[in-house]
Structure 1
Amino acid sequence: MTKIGDAIVAMSNWLWGPPLLILLGCGGLFLTIRFGFLQFRYIGYIFSQTFGKMFKKTEDGISPFQACTASLAACVGASNIAGVPVAIAFGGPGALVWMWILAFMGCATKFCEIALGIKYREKNEVGEWVGGPMYYMKKGIKNKKLGAALAFIFALVMMFENVPSAAAQMVSAIQNATSIGLPAMGTGIAIIVVVALVALGGIKRITAVTDKMVPIMVIAYVVGGLIVLCANVTALPHALAVIVKSAFTPMAPVGGFAGSTIAAAIQWGAARGAYSNEAGDGAAPFIHSAATVDHPVRQGFFGVFEVFVDTMIVCTFTGLICVVSGAWMKIDGSNAATMPGIAFSSVFGSAGPIFLTVLILIFVVSTLIVLVQVGTKSAEYCFGYKFGQIFRYVYFVGMFLGIIGGLEFVYRFLDFFFALLIISNMIGVFMLHGDVVQLIKEFFNTPGKYYLKDIAEKKGGK
């Protein structure tokens, strides 16, 4: 068993090198070109339909923004705070530049996933909208046997992968909680209770909570980060210069930083971007497919919005405070996750780590809430609605094992499972991207509807 485990880990490490980064990076670039650079050409319009419609409610189902905040709850997590410093520690500050580049390409990927999710969604036996990669693979791919096989593999892997993922999220929460003196068991049980109260209420209760939780936690983190940046404002120009320069030139060791190459900056930055905004892993369409929206493309805009908030705002603030505060030069790679705490402590003193830990705990709760929903719908697709309702309790078992220490062996396979999700989903996205090209043409060019109607109303002052 150990040899098998070692082989899977070795395969995972190889996949998360050039293969997946090329798949995600070049795949995102390909989709960007095929969609006519949509995320750049229509950026103003996209923000007017996302930022500009944040508080618009819907009478039936959940609003597009509620679906977006629930999806953001899944990708804006503890890794946004702990993962970015790791990328800086091993790839140098220049990793941030490559993280941004992959994020811009990832906008097209996530847009495509969500648009396909809306196009191919369906009602389940209790009248709920359900969707995701398994639905667009099964219904959209012309080779029905291939589509059904890819769909089942994706859903089955997602269903089981979310169990150790739940445990891993809990481990992160417990480590941060105990660092400021909170009891492990008490904190863990409290998290499980909160997650259960929300997640077991279904998509409407989830979105009712996340549409308030996500803006608050993001704004709180950004405000804290702005204070740190303002306290180090004189160092900001130099920090930005170091970030840009080190993205394209090797960096020598300095302080606790061991030095890096251009290849390391690309790999660590791109990998951080992929992990962070989740463009390509197929999770976003699960939540977005429940939205009440007039056209798949309009909901797809929220994919661009999500990547922007997750990577260009949250991850960027994490990276900037680590660099401007000098924390990246003080800490070696083995302790990289402590960089943000050091940065906040330099301004807030002992209150800094407490503030950061509380935010991380909220981030973990939001991620776990959506993780349960996505896993439940995956199980439902594979084995039916009733099975999904029963299987969702397995995720709470996973959380509890994260508190007491369990599933350590399975943790080794998390990256491998995640890679399988991305590979199977991206195959479906590539095979069906032509559908999205047609949807884009329909949305932007249909006289009297969608984009043209919005523009006419704006010009008319309505």
Structure 2
Amino acid sequence: MEALNAFVNELNGIVWGVPMIILILGTGFYLQIRLGFMPIRKIAYGFRMIWKSRKPENRAEGEISPYAALMTALSATVGTGNIAGVATAIAIGGPGALFWMWMTALVGMATKYGEVLLAVKYREVDAKGEHVGGPMYAIKNGLGRHWRWLGTAFAVFGGLAGFGIGNMVQSNSISSAIENSFGVPGWITGVALMVLTGAVILGGIKRIGAVAEKLVPGMCIGYIACTGVVLVVHADQIPMALDLIFTHAFTPIAGTGGFVGATIMLAIQKGVARGIFSNEAGLGTGGIAQAAGATHNPVFSGVIGMMGTFIDTIVVCTMTGLAIVASGVWTTGESGAVLTASAFEAGMPGVGNYLLTISLAVFAFTTILGWAYFGEKCWQYLLGTACEKPFRILWTLAVLPGAVVSLDFVWLVADTLNALMAIPNLIGLLLLTPVIVSLTRDYFADEAAGEADAIGAKA
């Protein structure tokens, strides 16, 4: 067992090493250039399309609205990475790591846009009449049968990784946090989570989307409000915090207090790695959710999908990072969720820790729901629609052991598989870039022509 653990540990270091980070960032930057930095230029447009996608008259073929699909994708990405991941990046890489998380998100918006566009462009209708898509279908239908093995590899990695990183690891985080803060035994939390998970996912994507539509906006707003209180309390320190973030993104930072110091490379590495972990741009999961969304055009879905990366990292992660740096707790030597809890306590003494625990629990629970759909579609690609119900039951049952057992090895394996998902997805994105660029150019050309006609009609 020790030899296996050592092998997986070494493999994890390789797949999440500098080459993978360069591949993910390089793909995103390449797409940004080919798209003329459209994802960044169209951020305001993206928010307008999110609002527009909620209206029934803008829906086309699909099981849920593009808005519900976005909330489903966000339910999986807005999670422990936004709380513990940001804190870990700052604890190891210093405040400058937050700057590199921002850069990862801005580049990752192009990656997520491409993933969603291709997922919708090459989606299929399954035996039950529902729309399915994602990197595996984009590779199979976009690149042809000689590349089908690559789509299969993605589905295998995603289908296995989900049980760890999207299920058991999340339930373990919830039970540990609740037991530490409220003294509730892990098995009780596990049973409650199992019941809640089953009640949602057994209803399929329509029920997951309906729950995500209601739960995700509320949890994000609630969390932003809590971090906002911390920032109000330490408002005088915000300019200093921003100075630290920008300064130490490009210069080393010396040790202070419990912080041991960090090089520029460490700030970049931790910021980029945790940014990717948080928003999943490059892993291909966002496209799986959006493929179920009702839409007239893949570009429309892509624009909505890319906004998930912006909301996840530029908004939610930024609030966490600013709260940690402005409150001064980043120098204590703590890391992970404990560090974020310290920031909450600094701004809201006596209640901050409890509010952070509740936030962490809700974030992790929605991740279980979102990843349930991702995992299901991976296994459906491999085994057909007959596996849906058995998968949902197995997924629900896996929540309980995740809440009560040690998961160090499970986490390591799942994290490794999570990284391996990126390789087929990025290859598909790079090879299908001409399709992404062509569809984007045509869509916005039609938009411009429509606006010109409208102006001419008014004149």
Scaled by the length of structure 1, what TM-score is found? 0.94
- Alignment RMSD, CA only? 1.7
Identify the match of residue 228 of structure 1 among 227, 230, 234.
230
In 2, the alpha carbon distance for the partners of 1:244 and 1:283 equals: 31
Deviation at 1:409?
Answer: 2.9
* More moved, 156-165 vs 65-74: 156-165
Structure 1 residues 460 and 293 mapped into 2: Cα distance closer, same or farther (>3 Å)? Answer: farther
Q: Return the alpha-carbon distance in structure 2 between the equivalents of residues 456 and 320 of structure 1.
A: 45
Question: Is the CA contact (8 Å cut-off) linking 1:380 and 1:389 kept in structure 2?
Answer: no
Specify the alignment match of 2:285 in structure 1: 283
Structure 2 counterpart of 1:129: 131
Aligned partner of 2:56: which letter? K
| Residues 368 and 456 of structure 1, relative CA distance in 2, 3 Å threshold | farther
Q: Deviations over 1:72-110 (max 9, x none)?
A: 000001221011010001100000001100110000000
Matched residue, 1:212: 214
Distance 1:246 1:456 in 2: 50
- 1:34 partner letter: R
Describe the superposition over 1:4-62 as per-residue Cα deviations: whole angstroms up to 9, x where unpaired.
43123112112212111101111110010011111123333222212x32642356631
Q: Secondary structure at the match of 2:39?
A: helix
Which residue does the alignment assign to 2:344? 344
Counterpart in the other structure of 2:241:
239
Contact 1:401–1:407, Cα closer than 8 Å, also in 2? no
Distance between the aligned counterparts of 1:99 and 1:234, measured in 2? 24
Percent identity for Structure 1 against Structure 2: 37
Change over 3 Å in CA distance of 1:3–1:308 after alignment to 2 = same
> Comparing 131-140 with 399-408, which one deviates more in the overlay?
399-408
1:175 maps to 2:172 = no
- What is the CA–CA distance in structure 2 between the aligned matches of 1:330 and 1:460, rounded to whole Å? 64
2-structure distance, mates of 1:460, 1:400: 62
Q: Is 1:150 paired with 2:150?
A: yes
Letter in 1 for 2:171: M
Distance 2:323 2:104 in 1: 21
For residue 347 of structure 1, report the CA deviation from its aligned partner. Answer: 2.3
Structure 2 equivalent of residue 411 of structure 1:
411
* Counterpart-to-counterpart distance in 1, 2:449 and 2:262: 49
Aligned to 1:312: 314
Instruction: Give the Cα separation in 2 of the matches to 1:389 and 1:406.
Output: 28
* Among candidates 272, 291, 297, match of residue 274 of structure 2: 272
Asked whether the 8 Å contact 2:190–2:401 carries over to 1, the reply is no
CA contact (8 A) 1:162 1:395 kept: no
Counterpart for residue 162 of structure 2: 162
The 1-side partners of 2:314 and 2:376 are apart by 30
Q: How far off its partner does 1:304 sit?
A: 2.2
Q: Which amino acid aligns with 1:365?
A: F
Match of 1:440 in 2: 440
Structure 2 residue runs of 5 or longer lacking an equivalent are: none
TM-score normalised over the length of structure 2? 0.95
Q: Partners in 2 of 1:41 and 1:348 — Cα distance?
A: 37
Q: Which residue of 2 aligns with 1:402?
A: 402
Is the 8 Å Cα contact of residues 195 and 368 (structure 1) preserved in structure 2? yes
1:101-141 C-alpha deviation (Å, 9 max, x unpaired): 01100000000000001100011001000001110101111
Q: After superposing the two structures, state which structure 1 stretch, 102-111 or 431-440, moved more.
A: 431-440
Kept in 2: contact 1:375–1:392 (CA 8 A): no
Structure-1 residue corresponding to 2:55: 56
Matched, 1:453 2:450: yes
Contact 1:92 1:260 (C-alpha < 8 Å) held by counterparts: yes
Residues 458 and 347 of structure 1: CA distance in aligned 2, closer, same or farther (over 3 Å):
farther
- Aligned residues of 1:376 and 1:389 also touching (Cα < 8 A): no
Aligned length: 453
Match of 1:74 among 73, 76, 79: 76
Tell me what 1:94 maps to.
96
